[in-house]
Amino acid sequence: MARLAGVSERQLSRLFLAHAGSTPAQYVRRARTEAAAHLLTSTALPLAAVARRCGFGSTESLRQAFLTHYAVTPSRFRAERRRTVDAP
């Protein structure tokens, strides 16, 4: 990313922090987690498939990202969102 932007890695981190409020790594992890959340609520894909499609190296990485971002596991997130959608 830094090379594409024509800046050093450190400068890219500074710019990201100033403009996006996070580091590039945090931004990518959040984007992957939000993409996974969408797949969990809109598909019946297994967790391993969701993890792969969203760029996580394993279901454990997906789980850790969900615990950090949503404070629940991906399975619980899916179950809670389905209950909300299925409720009258």
Q: Output the pTM of the full model.
A: 0.83
In this predicted structure, what is the pLDDT of residue 88?
53
Q: pLDDT confidence of 86, banded at 50, 70, 90?
A: low
Q: pLDDT (tens digit, 9 = 90+) per residue, 28-47?
A: 999 999 999 999 999 999 99
User: pLDDT tens digits for 46-73?
Assistant: 999 999 999 999 999 999 999 999 999 9
Domain that holds residue 62: 2-86
Q: CATH number for the domain including 16?
A: 1.10.10.60
Number of domains in the chain: 1
Q: Which residues contact 44 (CB under 8 A, 6 or more apart)?
A: none
Distance of alpha carbon 72 from alpha carbon 80, whole angstroms: 10
pLDDT tens, residue by residue, 3-25: 998 999 999 999 999 999 998 99
